[in-house]
Every structure is written in C-alpha cells, then in structure tokens.
Amino acid sequence: MHSMTGFGRGSAATDLWQAGVEISAVNRKQAEVVVQAPRELNELDARIRKAVLAVVSRGRIQVSINVERPLFSAEEFSINTALALAFSKTFGVLSETVGYPVIPAASDFLRQPGIIAAGDSEIDAEAAWLAVEPALTAALEQLAAMRESEGSHLKADFLARLETLVSFARKIAAEAPGRPVRQRELLNKRLRDAGLELDPADERVVKEIALFADRCDVSEEITRLDSHFAKFREYLDAAEPPGRALDFLCQELFREFNTIGSKANDASIAQTIVEAKTELEKIREQVQNVE
C-alpha cells in the first residue's frame, strides 16, 4: 500500500547535458501529471508522462526538469559580431548627441545580452533525453520509496483503528440481545405507574415485546460489519492500489453503524455508536491519502 504524497529527486549527466529532476506528489482522486521543463523538451512530454504513470496511479504529480551544459570551454563561447558592432556604433551616435566622447567599457559589452553567448543555447531534445531519462528514473524511485514508507505507517494505523472498531462491534453484539428484556421491564414499569396492572404473560405485552425485538435486531448489521472488516484487511494487503475501495468501505461501515444506532434505540449502544463513528472518521480522513 502506498501513500499519495511524496517527493523524489534525481540527477544525471552526459558529455553534452546534465539534468536535474524533482517530483512532488499530493492527493488527488485521479492521476494528474504536470510537467515543467524548457520548451525545447516539449516533444519529450509523452515519454515523461508515460514513465510517471507507470509508477503512480493516483495523485497530482508535478515534475520539474532542469537541463544545462555541464561545462563550457573557451571554444564554446561565441560572439555576435553584428550586434557588437552595432552596440559600439551606438556609443558614437551618443557621443555626437551629448557633444563629448562616450567610450564603452568591456563590462558594457558583457552586460549587453546576446553579444557573448555560451555555446549553443538551443537544447537538442533527443540528446538531452539521455540525461533526463536516468534522472527521472532516480527521482521516481525515490518518490515510490517515500510513498511506500508512508503507506506502511498508514497501514499500521488502519489496523490499530480497525481493531478498535471491531471491539465496538463486539460490545454492541453483546449488549443488543438484552435490549428487548430491558424494554419489557420498562414497559411493565410504565403500565404499573399508570395503574394498569397486567399479567406479564398477557398476549398483548408479549406481542409488543416481540415486535420491538424484531425492530431492534441488529444481527444482520453486525454480520455485515464483520464482512466489511475482513474486506478492509484484505484490501490493505492487496497488490493493487486500494484507496478507492477503502473509501467505499468506509461509507459502508458508516451506513451499518448508523443503522444500528437507529434500530437499537438504546442509550448505551448509542454512545458506542458515537465513539465508533468518531474513530471511523479518523480512518476515512487517512484513507484520502492512500493511492
């Protein structure tokens, strides 16, 4: 099981290019890949996305790619002669305008963009890919390792909280059968307080208690809860990303606990239901982080 959040960084270099890749991932219901790279690498976009989606199935993944020359030699610098001459001529015009000589310094030429360029400013996508691909692979491996580590922590937390839910379900299962008995005692007390003494074996009382017992029977809900608990554990150990399935199971668990609360009509069971739903809400919040 993997978390949807994580970060990875990788770098690689060839004789021509060195590449740095950073990948960050956050929660998102669907897979969304955002690539930030020099425009010359636009043709690599499909390859980058394919590599990312081979590792990630859900989440918003932002990929930042930087490509630059590893080292420059003297031969790799070029001078834009036309621009340099035009720049120098401009100072002559400026001198005539102000009426005294204005002599350009070497720093003026260096500060003027485009006069001196370091090598070829254009990035060859195919040549750059030889550096980008291994850097991307390294970043994805680091991202996957971090997501797996966080997923392991989430799994341990889920199992502990699931045991708490199981204990709540067991408590409800133990208390529920006594609810009709308590209802009979309450009904007899109300009748006595109203001055209506009836035989406990009176058919009307027995019928009323039988109907109440049928209405407050939660055995089916307890059985479904046990099934959902087992399925939850199964998904935690599944090879496929379980995020969506776990989210659906949380909804089903909420539904069963709600039904028990409405059917049981008992203060003690109602308190247990509140505690169970509070714990389940914590699980559901964490499930939103699962791939």
Over 80: is that where the pLDDT of 163 sits?
Answer: yes
Q: What is the pLDDT of residues 94-105, one digit of tens each?
A: 898 988 988 888
Contacts (Cβ under 8 Å, ≥6 apart) of 233:
159, 162
Give me the number of domains the chain comprises.
3
Question: Can you tell me the distance from the alpha carbon of 80 to that of 217, in angstroms, rounded to the nearest whole number?
Answer: 89
From 101, 131, 146, the end of a domain falls on 146
* 208 inside domain: yes
Question: CA 270 → CA 216, 257, 258, distances in Å?
Answer: 13, 10, 9
Judge if 158 and 203 occupy the same domain.
yes
The vertex-12 CA angle with 11 and 14, nearest 5°, equals: 155
Answering whether pTM is above 0.95, one says no
Mean pLDDT of 276-289: 93
Judge if 152 and 140 occupy the same domain.
no
Mean pLDDT of 79-95: 88
Question: Can you tell me the distance from the alpha carbon of 98 to that of 102, in angstroms, rounded to the nearest whole number?
Answer: 9
* 188 inside domain: yes
Question: Can you tell me the distance from the alpha carbon of 175 to that of 166, in angstroms, rounded to the nearest whole number?
Answer: 14
Judge if 192 and 222 occupy the same domain.
yes
- CATH number of domain containing 61: 3.30.230
**58 close to 139: Cβ distance less than 8 angstroms:** no
pLDDT reported for residue 75: 47
Judge if 133 and 163 occupy the same domain.
no
Judge if 89 and 16 occupy the same domain.
no
Percent of the chain with pLDDT over 90: 52
Q: What is the pLDDT of residues 6-54, one digit of tens each?
A: 999 999 999 889 999 999 999 988 899 999 998 889 999 999 999 999 9
Judge if 133 and 244 occupy the same domain.
no
From 146, 161, 196, the end of a domain falls on 146
Judge if 167 and 190 occupy the same domain.
yes
Question: Beta partners for 32?
Answer: 60
| Averaged pLDDT score across all residues of the chain | 85
Judge if 109 and 130 occupy the same domain.
no
Judge if 65 and 107 occupy the same domain.
no
Give me the domain span that covers residue 252.
147-287
Provide the 3-class DSSP secondary structure of residue 78.
strand
Mean pLDDT of 260-264: 79
User: If you ran DSSP here, which 8-state letter would residue 103 be given?
Assistant: P
Contacts (Cβ under 8 Å, ≥6 apart) of 149:
none
Mean pLDDT of 51-66: 94
Mean pLDDT of 60-79: 77
Over 90: is that where the pLDDT of 260 sits?
Answer: no
**CB count, 10 Å around CB of 22?**
19
Token code pair at residue 4: 């949807």
**55 close to 28: Cβ distance less than 8 angstroms:** no
* 1 inside domain: no
Percent of the chain with pLDDT over 70: 82
Token code pair at residue 225: 């809860």
Could you tell me if residue 99 is left (phi over 0), alpha (psi between -120 and 50 degrees) or otherwise beta? Answer: left
pLDDT reported for residue 74: 45
**CB count, 10 Å around CB of 99?**
6
Contacts (Cβ under 8 Å, ≥6 apart) of 129:
44, 47
* 96 inside domain: yes
Judge if 96 and 173 occupy the same domain.
no
Judge if 209 and 241 occupy the same domain.
yes
Question: Beta partners for 136?
Answer: none
* 282 inside domain: yes
**116 close to 79: Cβ distance less than 8 angstroms:** yes
Q: Are strands 6-13 and 31-36 parallel, antiparallel or unpaired?
A: unpaired
Judge if 280 and 151 occupy the same domain.
yes
